[in-house]
Amino acid sequence: MEQFLEFFVENAGIIPALPLWTFLIIIFGQNLGVYDDKRITVWITVLSTFIGLVWSFFILLWTFGVDEPFSKNITWLNAGNIELSVGWLVDNLAATMLLVVTGVSLLIQVYSQGYMKEDEGYHRFFSYLNLFNFSMLGLVLSSNLFQIYIFWELVGVSSYLLIGFWYRRPSAAHAATKAFIINRIGDFGLLVGIIAFLFYSLNWWQASGNIYLSFTTLQPAAQYVLTEAGTVIYFLIALAIFFGPIAKSAQFPLHTWLPDAMEGPTPISALIHAATMVAAGVFLIARAYPIFEASPCIMTTIAWIGAITAFITATIAITQYDLKKTLAYSTCSQLGYMVMAMGAGAYAAGLFHLMTHAFFKAMLFLCSGAVIHGLSDQQDMRYMGGLRKYMPVVAYTYLIGCLAISGILLSGFWSKEAIFSGLYGNNNITLLTVGLIVALMTSFYMFRTYFLTFEGEYRGQAHPHDAPKVMSVPLILLTIPSALIGFLLSGALGLPSFDEYILAGKDLFTHAEYHGPWLLPVISLLLSLAGLLVAAFLYWDGLKQARESVKITADNIIRITKPLYALTTNLWYIDKLYYWFIDDIFLPICGFIAGFDKYIIDGIVNLVGLMTLVAGKVLRLFQTGQMQTYLAVLFSGIAGLTLIFVILQWLM
Amino acid sequence: MSWEEILIKIFNVELTHYLVLSAVLFCIGIMGLIVSRNVIRVLMSIEILLVSININFVAFANYTDLGDLKGQVFAIFIMAVAAAEAALGLAILLALYRNKPSVDTEEYKELKG
């Protein structure tokens, strides 16, 4: 049995390789016209992901039996002192992520079969999906910082391709460009950080003989860099590395790309922009945790960035009317939770929330996709309502998702509770307060979307129809982990708890997995319930008379809190600030520099050209073509020179 | 002064005299080159230039390099080359004349930029 499992771990590279092959098969099969059957595309895609899922499952089984992570590397680049490798590292974290990514991917691929059935870019969609799977699984299995950077860029590319999937729509093309550019900012920081880290730790890697930048030996390397570079430089290096997660995980101030990314097809929003890719930032923080925890300053920065993101995006989510955008802001907010937990030292809690969030957020997005599909591409919640009658399966799964994300007893409750107790254990009372307030808001805006979409009377024009089986079955399957995974892995049932599993073999400095007082989960639960009740009071039709009798309706509240409302509907003016900065400051400077280049630099070059041209034109006049003239000039020149020579001789 | 002395004075030709003759011929040649528009005349002027140079060579050879005959050999060479040049020049001229029925150098300026 041991050897049987070992086989899977030693050949873990097959998991990312399968989608890559599928990607190539679809691309070449389509472009060379080998086949044209949609069923072949979807079957090979689903099959490759399914094999990956089974493979990951065996890898997970293997991790229970061993303490040491497995790593296999080959040298790839050998440049002077630097020797960079690629390979794979299988530990508890990688095994968990593999299972989450392949599991969610598989269900979403089945769902996409139904969602994209009519689309002309069907094969292209599935090929991009495979490319994304390859990059994401490669990222999860990466054994060193250098390799993770490669896959980091690859997920960025596939995300770009999929956001701009409907590239004929200007808004989609714009959103794809925006996502790509904002991610470039983060990637640049990450690259600078990695290079700076390598620069300072080069001697250490050489002396120790380890794989360069390997995650398994990052802790002593970070200590070496800390003594070598000093606290301030070290903080800057870690901050540069943290720029990667800021952009990829949509943290403040680079979160603005994620809501725009909803222009892509909804299965993509579910897979990439909710469950997996955006979690890659949190995954990177977890992987590079030794780097961050060596500097308390950067940990505080991370925690506060997470808290600010969670708060700002939650307030924006409250006032959105677009169903998918609300979910997108909610994703930002939940990612903020994870980053905050990471920064506050609640390492396992952050990853736990990552995992539960992947399931319930994927499910919520798939539900919203089913709604949008059923209403012929209507995304505005003001034109929905009463959809529970038309699509009951979607409504009930969505309700389960809402309960899970709001932290009302389902999986979100357990992971959020872990974060709160971690914050409490680290005496971060300010962050804990922010977290609790955000929990209240989360519950409010999620149930607001539920009541606006599924309850009351239908307010739109389209004819709602229920989701086909191929779409509703993945939804139903996703409810199981969404509802239960938190409870199952909390350690309450005697099963191995997630905390112990993920921390096994880890030697962390800032270990903050405390169990807070029993009051804490009760408070968070009560706050979530309060959010639910407020949402129900304001938006549920059953309480219409009650709220009109006391004159507290949503419209009234909007009227009273006009400035605040304007602030959140304008997205805290962050986007406007960026556009103002780019349009009014950055582009004029660029224009000035471009003008300098165009008129001064190019002017000098053109002037030289013009001078030779004019000189040629003038000299041309002397070439009369008359032999006599030439001869006269020639001989008078000789005569003149002779004369000068003679005079000089005479003068000497 | 006796007749003998006068004759010696007259016929005692020195190097300078040859050089003056050569320079005069050279100037005549150049003058002919510059002022004549007829191509035949131009060719003739070139011959005069060559002749003046030949005189130069032979004169120097006779006065400074006795018994070695280098200058004389060079003069023979130049004559041969001049003959060849005259033949070639006339051939080119004929070819030119077939394309453009004129011997005026002013007419030959197709290559002007």
Secondary structure (DSSP) of A486-510: HHHHTTTTSSPPHHHHHHTT---SS
Chain A: give the shortest CA distance to residue B12, in Å.
28
B103 contacts in A (CB within 8 Å)? Answer: none
CA distance A291 to A604: 50
Predicted confidence band at A197 (pLDDT cuts at 50, 70, 90)? very high
Tokens representing A323 are 């169903």
Assessment of whether the complete model's pTM goes beyond 0.80? no
Out of A620, A625, A632, the one facing B109 most closely (by C-beta) is: A625
Instruction: Tell me the C-alpha to C-alpha distance, in Å, between residue A66 and each of A61, A62, A69.
Output: 10, 7, 8
From chain A, the residues in CB contact with B42 under 8 A are 627
Average pLDDT over residues A489-498: 73
- pLDDT score, position A483: 84
Judge whether residue A36 has pLDDT over 90.
no
A626: nearest CA in chain B?
B106
Q: Of how many residues is chain A composed? A: 652
Q: Do B34 and A624 count as a contact with CB atoms less than 8 A apart?
A: no
CA distance A49 to A22: 10
Among A492, A381, A348, which Cα is nearest to A447's? A381
Given this model, what pLDDT does residue B79 score? 93
Burial label for A583, CB within 10 Å (0-12, 13-18, 19+), is exposed
Q: Could you write out the DSSP letters of every residue in A259-287?
A: HHGGGS-HHHHHIIIIISTTHHHHHHHHH
Question: A209 by DSSP, 3-state: which?
Answer: coil
Q: Write out chain B's pLDDT in tens, 113 residues.
A: 788 788 777 777 788 888 999 999 999 999 998 888 888 898 899 999 999 999 999 988 888 877 778 888 999 999 999 999 999 999 988 988 888 888 887 777 776 65
Residues of A in contact with B37 (CB under 8 A): 628
**Is the CB of A612 inside 8 Å of chain B's CB atoms?**
no
Q: Does B105 touch chain A (CB under 8 A)?
A: yes
The pLDDT value recorded for residue B88 is 93
What helix, strand, coil percent values describe chain A, rounded to 5?
Answer: 75, 5, 20
pLDDT value of residue A3: 83
Confidence band for A547, pLDDT divided at 50, 70 and 90: confident
**The token pair that represents A197 in the structure block:** 């880290």
Residue A513 has pLDDT above 70, yes or no: no
Q: List, for residues A401-417, the tens digit of each pLDDT value.
A: 999 998 887 888 888 88
**pLDDT of A500 over the 80 cut:** no
Q: Tokens in use for A57?
A: 């499952």
With CA atoms as reference, the chain A residue closest to B110 would be A625
User: Does residue A253 have a cis bond before it (omega within 30 degrees)?
Assistant: yes
**Can you give the pLDDT at residue A422?**
84
What mean pLDDT value characterizes chain A? 87
User: Per-residue confidence at A115, pLDDT binned at 50, 70, 90?
Assistant: confident
In angstroms, what separates the C-alpha of B105 from chain A's closest C-alpha?
Answer: 7
pLDDT at B113: 53
B40 touching A (Cβ < 8 Å): no
Q: Does the pLDDT at position A516 exceed 70?
A: no
Residue B111: predicted pLDDT: 66
ipTM: 0.78
Alpha helix stretches (DSSP H) within B12-69: 15-35, 39-64
User: Strand, coil or helix: what is B66?
Assistant: coil
Residue A139 predicted with pLDDT over 90: yes
CA distance A417 to B80: 115
pLDDT digits (tens, 9 = 90+) for A462-481: 788 888 888 888 888 888 88
Residue to mutate among B31, B33, B111, with most A CBs inside 10 A, is B33
Q: How far is CA A488 from CA A59, A139, A474, B27, in A?
A: 20, 27, 21, 118
Residue A621 near chain B (CB below 8 Å): no
Closest C-alpha among A505, A502, A495 to residue A422: A502
| Distance in angstroms (rounded) separating the CA atoms of residues A45 and A23 | 8
For residue B34, the distance in angstroms to the closest alpha carbon of chain A comes to 5
A6's enclosing H/E stretch is helix A2-10
Structure tokens at B84: 């060849």
pLDDT at residue A631 greater than cutoff 90:
no
- Percentage of chain A lying above the pLDDT 70 cut: 97
Predicted confidence (pLDDT) at residue A509 exceeds the cutoff of 60:
no
Please tell me which of the candidates B34, B35, B112 has its beta carbon nearest to residue A624: B112
Q: Which residue of A has its CA nearest to B36?
A: A628
Q: How far apart are CA A444 and CA B36, in angstroms?
A: 109
**In this structure, what DSSP letter does residue A573 have?**
G
Reported confidence tier of residue A321, pLDDT bands at 50, 70, 90 = confident
**Maximal C-alpha separation, chain A:** 125
Q: How far is A602 from chain B (nearest CA, A)?
A: 30
CA angle (A195, A198, A200) in 5-degree steps: 110
Interface probe with B: pick from A619, A620, A630, A631, most Cβ of B within 10 Å: A631
The DSSP 8-state label assigned to residue A230 in this structure reads H
- pLDDT, tens digit (0-9, with 9 covering 90-100), for A298-314: 999 999 999 999 999 99
Cβ neighbours of A628 in B, within 8 Å: 33-35, 37, 105
pLDDT at A283: 92
pLDDT of residue A515: 61
CB contact under 8 A, A624 and B111: no
Question: Residue A33, Cβ neighbours under 10 Å: how many?
Answer: 8
Which residues on chain B are in Cβ contact (under 8 Å) with A625? 108-109, 111-112
- Is A549 an 8 Å CB contact of chain B? no
Q: Does residue B104 sit in helix, strand or coil?
A: strand
Model pLDDT, residue A511: 55
pLDDT value at residue A504: 73
Q: How far apart are CA A187 and CA A506, in angstroms?
A: 27
Residues A241 and A193: beta-carbon distance below 8 Å: yes
What is the chain A residue with the closest CA to B27?
A635
pLDDT value at A512 more than 60: no
| Chain A residues lying within 8 Å of B35, measured CB to CB | 628
Compute the average pLDDT of residues A504-510.
64
- Determine, for residues A627 and B42 on separate chains, whether the beta-carbon distance falls below 8 Å: yes
Residues A92, A339, A491: CA angle, nearest 5 degrees: 45
A vs B: CB pairs below 8 A: 26
Q: Where are the alpha helices (DSSP H) in A551-626?
A: 554-560, 562-569, 574-580, 587-595, 602-622
Do A281 and A189 touch, CB atoms closer than 8 A?
no
Is the pLDDT at A546 greater than 90, yes or no?
no
Q: What is the mean pLDDT of residues A449-458?
A: 86
Residue B69: its pLDDT value, please?
83
Type of residue found at A267: P
